[in-house]
Each structure stands twice: as structure tokens, then as C-alpha cells.
Amino acid sequence: MRILGIDPGLATMGWGLIRSEGHKPRFVACGVITTQPDTPLPRRLSEIDTQVAQLLSLYEPEAIVFEQLFFARNVTTAFTVGAARGVAICRCANYTQQLFEYTPMQIKQAVVGYGKAEKMQVQQMVKLLLGLPTHPKPDDAADAVAAALTHFNAGRFGQHHLMK
């Protein structure tokens, strides 16, 4: 099974793909989708849509996992990142119904064993769990790989995190 993780963002949207080999996760690829701040919002959203479509066509994931958004203060950022996340969800929903989501705390708990782990701890565990020489870069890509790992580790309980 191929699992695509997505860490939503407008300027930088991370993605990471793993596959299962028996009961072990294997790293396939990761990267980021970037848009430029001086580009009008509709164009940026269109670029995200196009690039997500390319990822789906290239890697053909069987499950897609999104990190849920969490914003404490900046409402403007929340709206624009939410728009980018919505575009990615819409593109993915046209591809499959196997869309899942986990909170940042659930991802940290699943990967590190502690829901309030620091970003570097998550990155180190991603590296160890996948047997990589270094953790995935940039940070947004590492977060997306961690989301995919979370779903892999959830096994049959992952169905509880199906987007509603």
C-alpha cells in the first residue's frame, strides 16, 4: 500500500510518500509544493491544485493523509492555509475516498510516543523508523512523512480517522 502524507500550507505544502512492505514502512519520496507570496491567491491555489494532481498521477497512492490545521492566533494565515488545504482535499477527493486526517498531537504521539514532542524529535524518529541516513528535508516534507507513518502505524484503526 502507498500512503501519501500532506502537511498543508500556502507558501509551502509538504508531501511524503511511504509504502508498506509486509509489516514495515518504506520511504519512497518526499518534497514540497511551493508558491510565491507575490502571486495572487487564486493563481497560488491553482498551482497547488496542478501539483497535487501531478503527485497523484505519478505515485498513485491508495490512501492520503492530511495533518489537521491548528492555529492559535493568526486568523489571516488560518484562512489562506485553509484555502490551500481545501484545494488539496478537493483534488484528492476526486482521486479517492480514502482520505484521512490526524491532529498534530496524534501524529507526534504515534511517531514519538509523546503528543507534545518537539519538531526535531519527530524528525529523528521519522529517520529511525524508516532507516534513513538523515531526516527528510525540508521540515514540511518531514511532517508529511510523519503523517503518512501515523496512518501506517494506525493499521485497521486508521479507518476511525477517515475524513467525514
The pLDDT tens digits of the residues spanning 36-48 come to 999 999 999 999 9
Return the pLDDT at 50.
98
Please determine, for residue 66, whether its predicted confidence score (pLDDT) is greater than 70. yes
* Grid cell of 119 as nine digits: 519538531
Task: Reply yes or no on whether 67 is catalytic.
Answer: yes
- Give me the catalytic one of 21, 62, 140, 143: 140
What's this model's pTM, rounded to 2 decimal places? 0.95
DSSP state of 23: T
Return the pLDDT at 72.
59
Return the pLDDT at 40.
97
**Which distant-in-sequence residues (6+ apart) come within 8 Å of 24 by Cβ?**
none
Report whether 93 contacts 101 (CB < 8 A).
no
The pLDDT tens digits of the residues spanning 101-160 come to 999 999 999 999 999 999 999 999 999 999 999 999 999 999 999 999 999 999 889 999
Mean pLDDT of all residues belonging to the chain:
95
**Which distant-in-sequence residues (6+ apart) come within 8 Å of 134 by Cβ?**
127
Backbone angles phi, psi at 162, to 5 degrees: -60, 135
Please determine, for residue 70, whether its predicted confidence score (pLDDT) is greater than 80. no
Please determine, for residue 76, whether its predicted confidence score (pLDDT) is greater than 70. yes
Beta strands in the chain (DSSP E): 2-7, 12-21, 24-34, 63-67, 99-102
Which domains does the chain show, CATH number per domain? 2-161 (3.30.420.10)
The pLDDT tens digits of the residues spanning 24-33 come to 999 999 999 9
DSSP, collapsed to helix, strand or coil, labels residue 152 as helix
CA distance 107 to 148: 9
Task: Reply yes or no on whether 7 is catalytic.
Answer: yes
CA distance 147 to 150: 5
**Which distant-in-sequence residues (6+ apart) come within 8 Å of 28 by Cβ?**
2, 17, 18, 19, 59
Please determine, for residue 71, whether its predicted confidence score (pLDDT) is greater than 70. no
Average pLDDT over residues 82-93: 97
The b/e string for 39-56 (b: 16+ C-beta within 10 A; e otherwise) is: eeeeebbebbbebbeebb
